[in-house]
Amino acid sequence: MAKRHSPQLLGLAIAFSLLSANLCGAEIKEAPITVADREHWSFRPLLRPAVPTVKNNELPRNAIDHFILARLEAAGLTPLPEAGRTTLIRRVTYDLTGLPPSIEEVDTFLADRAPGAYERIVDRLLASDAYGERWAQHWLDLARFAETDGFEHDHVRPNAWRYRDWVIDALNADMPYDEFVRRQLAGDEIDSDNSAARIATGFLLCGPDMPDINLQQERRHSFLNDMTATVGSAFLGLQFGCAQCHDHKYDPISQADFYRLRAFFDAEFFFQKNKIARMTDELSAADSRLMIRGDFRRPGAVLLAAFPRIANPDSQQVDAGVLKPNTAGRRTALANWITRPDNPLTARVIVNRLWQHHFGKGLSSTSSDFGVVGDPPTHPELLDWLATEFVRTPGSNTISTAAGSGATGGAWSLKRMHRLMVTSSTYRQASRFADADWTEQQTTGAVALWTTCRKADPENSLHWRRTRQRLEGESIRDAMLTAADTLSRRRGGSGIRPPLPKELLSTLLKNQWPVTPDRVDHDRRSIYLFVRRNLRYPLFDVFDRPDANLSCARRNRSTIAPQALTQLNSAFSFSTSKKFARELLIKAGDGTGRQVDLAYRQALGRTPTVDEHSVAAEFISSAKKRLQDSPPNLLKLAVPENLPESTDRYHAAALTQFCLAMFNLNEFLYID
């Protein structure tokens, strides 16, 4: 929490600031950028490498596979075969939409044996509204999105949700990424008559704030420093925040570089006590200064806005016209520089982020730190090929070529890159040495490959298999609602507040979580749930929802006891299990076998095996007997609502327990 100051100290602080301004105006001394600095992999110019040749020309579907297979062949390894069709449709549907495939979608895909069936699935998913709702969450993690200020009072920001909706809509429209970046940094300057463009700059206002602090100068300093650091990490993949107090310890980023970057924003924001921070057209003429040791009370030398030297090899200058006092256009200049096709960082950073989400780990695993202490890419040529492919206008609209892009779309198209990655053979390979759709011979071969590859490359750095991924808390909740057929597809609007446990509400201030009146809204997609900075929705919290006070490039994936306890015992899990059980009773009718079949298909996207059928039937039968011997109130608690009078209540309650068990299966939480 920021330190509070008494009014008596305010005059002293201002006087000290004026004194420091006179004493600390000396010329800045900073280490020059050397040739060795520019030799670091992320700062080298973007050059398009040649697509390597491979011995196995039957495996590659696009250029990605050539780069991956060339490394595998050099190591004497062969990747696992393609996953079965049931596995593939579940994988790609969750990946692109955050939702499970419906029974009808699975059946249609399994029946479609014509060439291009999988590609048609991908195109349908990318065209759905659910795509933007899924991928917006990844971006909101980076932006530190929340609908409150944070700190002690955590006041609500009534219109913050508009930025969330803008991100969703921009992704669904496949707004070119360069435009996506430009509008978030300077939409109000670029298109001043467009209200949506102004909403896009909500990115700059996403961070935590403390409107009631006594020293508004301190508030302004902290807010701008945090925002500057986020701009550097989100768009450029560099930890600029490390240089707000001193020259970066490892990277060639000086303290002056940090404050030159901040100078693009210094005059653009208005702060008033107990009011939400806002951008203003009434630009300040105040000088931008380096703050000695990062202390807002010790302003040093005057600085003009300038692009970070290490990422600006041709020393491009900011137009002198926009650097004059009371002139707009600084943020536009920065946005245009960041989105130059030859910027060595921007394209590398975003394609690495896409790779991370599709494959579990980026080609560079430190996706917001491309600096000296970050991890170098496992496949640097592939990263550069993807980056150059991303910014170029494709010359072909073919669905799949061995060495081409293998995707439609224009320059800077995110959907084109998604399609390229998920249609590759690398993405489509199995994650395990067994698949229900394989023959016995295929399984035997996969076991042999697994044994060899795992010994040579236990971390799967060479991508000889697909990495299993656990669902995020948001997708777990959405999948549970989908299985119960209660997921509401209403879109947009202010954040939804579903009921919370009483013990959690007791930790909040009065009226900090007024429950949304319309109960249908309680079952909307998780991205539309209200985001309070000082409180994470319980299910999201245990499944590693990041702290909204910080930009999150890659979520933690823990395995801890509270996850199982929440899935088994929370009111949400139990109520959703009752709704799921009712769905099975209504749709499958009488007969445990049919109900088990439907449960597996709705929850896991497949039919149960003979053994699973037997175990499930025994579970339901045993649960029914236990309920018959239990107090009546336990039966009443577990019986789904609004059932026909003829329904066997004991069987219905046992089915609720079975549905709760389904939600706790590893297979429900993990995607092969």
Determine the straight-line distance between the first and last CA of the chain, rounded to whole angstroms: 42
Rounded to the nearest 10 degrees, how much is the dihedral formed by the CA atoms of 272, 275, 276, 279?
Answer: -40
Given pLDDT bands bounded at 50, 70 and 90, which one contains residue 398?
very low
User: For the residues of 294-343, what is the DSSP string, one character each?
Assistant: G-TT-EEEEE-----GGG-TT-PPPPGGGGSTT---HHHHHHHHHT-TT-
Helix (H) or strand (E) holding 541: helix 538-542
Which of 113-127, 441-455, 502-516, 653-667 shows the lowest mean pLDDT across its residues?
Answer: 502-516
What are the residue ranges of helices labelled H in 173-311? Answer: 177-190, 195-200, 216-236, 255-262
User: For the residues of 345-389, what is the DSSP string, one character each?
Assistant: THHHHHHHHHHHHHHSS-SSS-TT--STTSPPPSSHHHHHHHHHH
Whose structure tokens read 């530190």? 144
Given pLDDT bands bounded at 50, 70 and 90, which one contains residue 21?
very low
CA distance 290 to 144: 25
With 70 as the cut, is the pLDDT of residue 4 above it? no
Whose structure tokens read 């807010």? 223
| pTM recorded for the entire structure | 0.93
- Residue 336 CA from chain centroid, whole number: 24
Q: What radius of gyration, in Å, describes the C-alpha atoms of the chain?
A: 27
Sign, CA torsion 355/357/359/364: positive
Nearest residue to 554 via CA among 270, 353, 295: 353
CA atoms within 13 A on the CB side of 660: 25
pLDDT in tens, 318-333: 999 999 888 889 999 9
With 70 as the cut, is the pLDDT of residue 289 above it? yes
Nearest residue to 261 via CA among 217, 222, 230: 230
With 80 as the cut, is the pLDDT of residue 130 above it? yes
- Give the percent of the chain with pLDDT over 90: 86
CA distance 460 to 76: 14
With 70 as the cut, is the pLDDT of residue 348 above it? yes
CA distance 577 to 586: 14
At residue 481, what is the residue type? L
Given a contact cutoff of 8 angstroms between Cβ atoms, the answer to whether 142 and 548 are in contact is no
Given pLDDT bands bounded at 50, 70 and 90, which one contains residue 634?
confident
DSSP 248: -
Q: Give residues with Cβ within 8 angstroms of 405, minimum separation 6.
A: 62, 63, 389, 394, 396, 416, 420
Nearest residue to 383 via CA among 631, 60, 44: 44
With 60 as the cut, is the pLDDT of residue 636 above it? yes
CA distance 589 to 644: 11
Given pLDDT bands bounded at 50, 70 and 90, which one contains residue 408?
low
For residues 14-24, average pLDDT:
42
Which pLDDT score is estimated for 7? Answer: 43
Nearest residue to 476 via CA among 538, 543, 431: 543
User: In the structure encoding, which two tokens stand for residue 402, read together?
Assistant: 């061995």
Q: Report the helix count and the strand count for the chain, using DSSP H and E.
A: 28, 6
For residues 360-375, average pLDDT:
97
Q: Give residues with Cβ within 8 angstroms of 406, minimum separation 6.
A: 61, 62, 63, 398, 399, 400, 419, 420, 423, 424
User: In the structure encoding, which two tokens stand for residue 150, read together?
Assistant: 């944070």
Which of 40-44, 411-415, 552-556, 588-592 shows the lowest mean pLDDT across its residues?
Answer: 588-592
CA distance 321 to 334: 14
Whose structure tokens read 């939400």? 276
Which pLDDT score is estimated for 283? Answer: 83
CA distance 54 to 118: 24
For residues 49-70, average pLDDT:
97
For residues 159-175, average pLDDT:
98
CA distance 353 to 22: 45
For residues 478-482, average pLDDT:
98
Nearest residue to 144 via CA among 493, 609, 547, 529: 547
The partner residues of 670 in beta bridges, in order of sequence, read 470
Which pLDDT score is estimated for 22? Answer: 41
Which pLDDT score is estimated for 12? Answer: 44
Nearest residue to 428 via CA among 466, 460, 397: 466
Higher pLDDT, 632 or 567: 567
Q: Give residues with Cβ within 8 angstroms of 394, minimum separation 6.
A: 404, 405, 407, 408, 409, 410, 411, 416
CA distance 647 to 554: 47
Given a contact cutoff of 8 angstroms between Cβ atoms, the answer to whether 405 and 419 are in contact is no
Given a contact cutoff of 8 angstroms between Cβ atoms, the answer to whether 56 and 70 are in contact is no
CA distance 90 to 125: 12
Higher pLDDT, 206 or 636: 206
CA distance 212 to 528: 28
Nearest residue to 581 via CA among 565, 603, 609, 606: 603
For residues 197-220, average pLDDT:
96
Strands 299-303 and 288-291: antiparallel
Q: What is the overall mean pLDDT for the chain? A: 92
Which pLDDT score is estimated for 122? Answer: 98
Which pLDDT score is estimated for 32? Answer: 95
pLDDT in tens, 461-477: 999 999 999 999 999 99
Given a contact cutoff of 8 angstroms between Cβ atoms, the answer to whether 37 and 308 are in contact is no
CA distance 333 to 322: 8
Given pLDDT bands bounded at 50, 70 and 90, which one contains residue 509?
confident
Strands 670-671 and 278-279: unpaired
Given a contact cutoff of 8 angstroms between Cβ atoms, the answer to whether 529 and 513 are in contact is no
Nearest residue to 98 via CA among 477, 662, 423, 428: 477
pLDDT in tens, 294-323: 999 999 999 999 999 999 999 999 999 999
CA distance 423 to 415: 12
pLDDT in tens, 64-123: 999 999 999 999 999 999 999 999 999 999 999 999 999 999 999 999 999 999 999 999
Burial of 588 (0-12, 13-18, 19+ CB in 10 A): middle
User: In the structure encoding, which two tokens stand for residue 189, read together?
Assistant: 């300057």
